[in-house]
Structure 1
Amino acid sequence: MSIPADLKYTREHEWIKDNGDGTATIGITDFAQGELGDIVFVELEPEGTAFSKDDTFGTVEAVKTVSDLYAPVDGEIQEINEKLEDDPELVNEDPYGDGWMVKVKLHDESQLDDLLSAEEYEDVIA
């Protein structure tokens, strides 16, 4: 199972990558997609949607369950991964690459400091 060191994580199994320009990319972890099983549908809030930390920004539907996606920080959706409409299994195949969910404009970059490091996330799922 992969847990890239350059990302931050939540206890709800989302990852976030600081893009360095006031934006970040968010997805679900390799652990999460493995627990969900085969993902058949991803529904995301539209571009322009503002949210606060811990708000729901979408859902992931697998064969046996539906799981909410929780925002790790305050922000606004700037881009959704439209590939997931036709290819939701990208989340299973490449959760940290082609399977990303949304790109957001960060409202408070300091919130990234409150998230889990790769080592801390590894302890959560151990």
Structure 2
Amino acid sequence: MQIPKNIYYTKQHLWLQKIGLYDFYVGLTDFGQKEIGTIDLIELTMKGNLIKKGATWGTVYGINETFNLIAPFDCEIIEKNKDLQNQTAYVNTAPYKYWFAIVTTKIDPNSLLTFQDYKQLTQ
């Protein structure tokens, strides 16, 4: 299982890579994609761009299970990765390369899980 050291994680099996002062790429971890199995469909169902902590902002459908994307904090969606709608299986082959959305938030990254924290969570 891949767990890159230079990014952040959530207990909901999302990864976050910092790309600006307050901006992050958000995607599904390797552990998460393996649990779901081959991904058939990714729906990003946000109504508006503002998302509250705990809100569902999308769903990933796989052969093993359906996985709701839960916001780990209040944030604003800046951009959705539209390329994933046609090539969902890319998340299975390279989960840390293919992001779902770019979000902006003023949370402290220290409130997210580190590589070590996530490794302990998934063992």
- What TM-score comes out, normalization by structure 2 length? 0.92
Mapping for residues 64-83 of structure 1, pairs under 5 Å: 64-83=64-83
> What residue identity is the alignment partner of 2:116?
E
Q: Displacement, 1:101?
A: 0.5
Tell me, yes or no, if structure 1 residue 122 matches structure 2 residue 119. Answer: yes
**CA deviations over 1:59-82 (Å, ceiling 9, x no partner):** 000023211001122211111111
Runs of 4+ deviating beyond 6 Å: none
- Contact 2:53–2:73 (CA<8 Å) still a contact in 1? yes
- Contact 1:47–1:78 (CA<8 Å) still a contact in 2? no
Identity %: 34
Tell me, yes or no, if structure 1 residue 102 matches structure 2 residue 101. Answer: yes
Task: State the aligned residue count.
Answer: 123
Which consecutive unaligned segments of at least 5 residues does structure 1 have?
A: none
Specify the SS of the correspondent of 1:109.
coil
Q: Displacement, 1:55?
A: 1.6
Specify the SS of the correspondent of 1:104.
strand
- Contact 1:2–1:30 (CA<8 Å) still a contact in 2? yes
Which consecutive unaligned segments of at least 5 residues does structure 2 have?
A: none
Mapping for residues 1-126 of structure 1, pairs under 5 Å: 1-46=1-46, 48-97=48-97, 99-106=98-105, 108-110=106-108, 112-126=109-123
> What residue identity is the alignment partner of 2:64?
K
